[in-house]
Amino acid sequence: MVWFALGSILLPILGSVLVLLIPERHVKKAGQFFSFLAFICGLLLWIGFAENRDSFTRDLLTIGGINLFGITIDTLSVLVNLMVVFIGWLICTYSVGYMNAGNREHPVTEGIPRFYSFMLLFIGSMSGLVLSSTLLGLLFFFEMTGLCSWNLIGFYGDQKSRNSALWAIILTHFAALGLYVATAFVYINTGSFSISALGNLNETEKIIAFGGILLASWGKSAQLPLHPWLPRAMVAPTPVSAYLHAASMVKVGVYIFARTVLEAGAVPQVIGEVGAIMAVLTMVYGFIMYFPQDDMKKLLAYSTIAQLSYIFLAISLSIYGSELAFNGAVSHIFNHAFAKGLFFLVAGALAYTTGTRRLSMLRGILSKLPVIGVGYIAAAMSIVGSPPFSGFFSKFMIILAGFQVGWHQPLILVLMVVTLVESVGSFIWILRWMGVNVFGSPSEAIAGASPTPVSIQVVVGVLILMTLVSQYIVFLLLS
């Protein structure tokens, strides 16, 4: 088990070094290969864990009696790790088709090794973050993901993308300060870097530690007021955006919040209150920002912001003692990953074939590009939470838990009503664009679309399947 875990961390990192060294024509294959190895490790880890369900923590790096890095294997980490490596692999495969000179939106002729190197490093770092059992490990990989995303967002190297990349790294680094403080604070109060040491703090200390953690998570997950980097990050190559939004970067924030809440035992309620209020505020903000967007990726960015708020809300609710909320959060992390990944890859495929991401120029996708069209529908429906797509289940769990908690907490009740309204509103808006874009007779841009590469079609197909079944993968472990 530990070897599988280590494999999913180290193999992609190894790959990221290797792709820089090998001849450029082999890079794509190597990238695919290493991400696939990571996926296999993640999958075996999941299978192994699903069989016997014993959670454990293994210390790996100890200096002077202080554990600096270790690996935690439990439902949360195994699931999220699977998501990270799976989507990582899919994205690497997708990029084989996407990152070439045939790309209509942005032909890519150079920098492929750099792209794959950072992509693989990203996968490895994410995996490391997810499996880490220490705050130090969290912090380390937190910053690593920031670095990778920075390089990938600025991949095209023009002024705009570089600026956007700067927004991303500076804002998230600022947020990371919270985690720095929390890590140091936990260490000095308990003498340990282990995440579970959070549980040994007293009430006030926990508030301070979680305050820091919240700040860090907000920054990384692009929550108000640290959100502006995410919509700007849309200048990245679409596979990167997909990975940022689906499985990494923004998931870092929610993951560390979930992880710390899980390990800390009783968390002060004020953290739950603050988390929930900010989550709902962000949710509403993200929703409001849907309206003016005409760039598909930007719309998706705000959708990500709003969806992450759901996860934040759920984790905050779990602080009130609702196990269901926590499970809902875990499920939503997992489900949203596949749905949003799919959505971005669809956007990418559209950009690839048509050269535009403007929503108003896309019409009749289904008739011309059926796979992409179905992908669009599946992604949209999963994100807005319509069964049988998996987004429904996790959202339902969150809302259910919210009302359960809110029945005795007027504040939460109000927030949940707002959430419910937001869910309807965002549903309507996404649905509107879906109706416009997917159905009907092809618009000019779509009619002139170039054929979609096979790798893109395959990946989109796999993800469509995942939007239907991802929930059951979660339930297999949760039940």
Partner 1 sequence: MVQQIFMLSVFLYIAAAFLSLVMNRIYKVANYISAIGTFAAAIAGLVSTIIVLVQGMPFAAEFPRFVPFARFTIEVDYLSAFMILVISLIAAVTAIFTLTYNERYIGKNAGIFGFLNNIYILSMILAVASSNAFYFLVFWEIMTLASYFLVIAKQDKEAINSGFVYFAVAHAAVTLIIFSIIVLYIYAGSFDFSDFRNAEIPQATKNLIFLLSFLGFGIKAGIVPFHTWLPITYSSAPSTVSALMSTKVAIYGLIRIGVDFLGASVWWWGLTLLAFGAISAVVGILYASVEKDLNRLLAYSSTENVGIILMGIGVGMIGFAVEQPVLGTLGMLAGLYHMVNHAVFKGLLFLCTGSVIYRVQTTNMEEMGGLAKRMPWTGFAFLIGALAISAIPPLNGFVSEWFLYQSLFMAGNHSILAVKALSPLFAVMLALTGAIAAMCFVKAYGVVFAGPSRSEHAREAREVPVPMIAGMMLLVVGILVLGLGAPVVAPYIGHVASSLLNTSSPQVSEGLTVYPTSKTQAMLSTPLLFLFLMGLLVVPLFIVWTLRGEKSGRRMDSTPWATGYAYSARMAYSATAFSQPLRVLFHPVYWIRTTLVEVGSKIASYFRQVVGCIDRLESFWENTVYGSLARGTVLLGKRIQDIQLGNVRMYCLYIIITLVILLITTIR
Partner 2 sequence: MGENLLYLLPAVPLVTALLSFVIRSYRIVEVVHVAGISGLALLSLGLVKSLLGGQTFFALDGMLYADGLTAILILLIGTVGFLSGFYSIGYMRHDLAHGEVKERDLSTYYGFYHLFLFTMILSAISNNIAILWAAVEATTLGSAFLVGFYKHKTSAEAAWKYVLICSVGLAFALYGTILTYSNAFSVVQDAHKAMLWTELIKMAHQLDPQMMKLAFVFILIGFGTKAGLVPMHTWLPDAHSEAPSPASALLSGVLLKCALFAMVRYYAIALQSVGSEFPQTLLLIFGLLSVGVAAFFILVQNDIKRKLAYSSVEHIGIIATGLGVGGPLGIFAAFLHTINHSITKSLLFCTTGNITMKYGTRDATKIRGMKKVAPLTGFLFAAGLIAVAGSPPFNIFISELMTLTAGLKSGLFWPMILLLLFLVIAFAALVILISETVLGSPPEDLPRGETNWMGLLPLGILFVFMAGLGIYLPAPLNQLLQDAVGVVLGH
Q: By CB under 8 A, name the binding residues for partner 2.
A: 61, 63-64, 110, 114, 136, 139-141, 143-144, 146-147, 150, 154, 157-159, 162-163, 165-166, 169-170, 173-174, 177, 180-181, 183-185, 187-188
Q: Which residue's CB is nearer to partner 1, number 48 or number 440?
A: 440
| 159 binding partner 1? (CB under 8 A) | no
| 427 binding partner 1? (CB under 8 A) | yes
CB of 123 to partner 2, least distance (A): 15
The structure tokens listed for 412 are 């939460």
Cα-Cα end-to-end distance for the chain: 21
Give dist(CA 163, CA 169) in Å, integer: 10
Give the residue among 430, 426, 422 at the shortest CA–CA distance from 279: 422
Concatenated DSSP letters for 181-215? HHHHHHHHHHS--BGGGGGGS-HHHHHHHHHHHHH
Tally Cβ neighbours within 10 Å of residue 421.
13
Q: Which residue's CB is nearer to partner 2, number 130 or number 397?
A: 130
Interface pick for partner 1 out of 26, 29, 160, 432 (rule CB under 8 A): 432
| 373 binding partner 1? (CB under 8 A) | no
Interface pick for partner 1 out of 228, 321, 355, 461 (rule CB under 8 A): 228
Q: SS3 of 156, please?
A: coil
Give dist(CA 15, CA 118) in Å, integer: 10
Amino acid residing at 407: W
The backbone region for 103, taken as left when phi is positive above 0, alpha when psi lies in -120 to 50, beta otherwise, is beta
Give dist(CA 34, CA 117) in Å, integer: 11
CB of 156 to partner 2, least distance (A): 9
| 3 binding partner 1? (CB under 8 A) | no
| 33 binding partner 1? (CB under 8 A) | no
CB of 302 to partner 1, least distance (A): 9
| Secondary structure of 73-125 in HEC code, one letter for each residue | ECHHHHHHHHHHHHHHHHHHHHHHHHCCCCCCCCCCCCCHHHHHHHHHHHHHH
Interface pick for partner 1 out of 55, 62, 360, 441 (rule CB under 8 A): 441
Q: Which residue's CB is nearer to partner 2, number 64 or number 292?
A: 64
> Do residues 91 and 243 touch, judged by C-beta distance below 8 A?
yes
Q: Which of partner 2, partner 1, none has residue 428 at its interface (CB below 5 to 8 Å by kind)?
A: partner 1
Q: Which of partner 1, partner 2, none has residue 63 at its interface (CB below 5 to 8 Å by kind)?
A: partner 2
Q: Which of partner 1, partner 2, none has residue 344 at its interface (CB below 5 to 8 Å by kind)?
A: none
CB-count burial class (<10 Å; 0-12, 13-18, 19+) for 160: exposed
Give the number of residues in contact with partner 1, rule: CB under 8 A. Answer: 45
CB of 134 to partner 2, least distance (A): 12
Interface pick for partner 1 out of 289, 299, 371, 445 (rule CB under 8 A): 289
Q: Element (H or E) spanning 59, and its range?
A: strand 56-63
Q: Which of partner 1, partner 2, none has residue 431 at its interface (CB below 5 to 8 Å by kind)?
A: partner 1
Q: Which of partner 1, partner 2, none has residue 340 at its interface (CB below 5 to 8 Å by kind)?
A: none
Q: Which of partner 2, partner 1, none has residue 187 at its interface (CB below 5 to 8 Å by kind)?
A: partner 2
> Do residues 35 and 85 touch, judged by C-beta distance below 8 A?
yes
The structure tokens listed for 154 are 């600025």
| 475 binding partner 1? (CB under 8 A) | yes
In the complex, which residues of this chain contact partner 1 (CB under 8 A)?
171, 225, 227-228, 231-232, 288-289, 291-292, 324, 327, 364, 366-367, 381, 384, 386-388, 392-393, 396-397, 399-400, 403-404, 407, 420, 423-424, 427-428, 431-432, 435-436, 439-441, 472, 475, 478-479
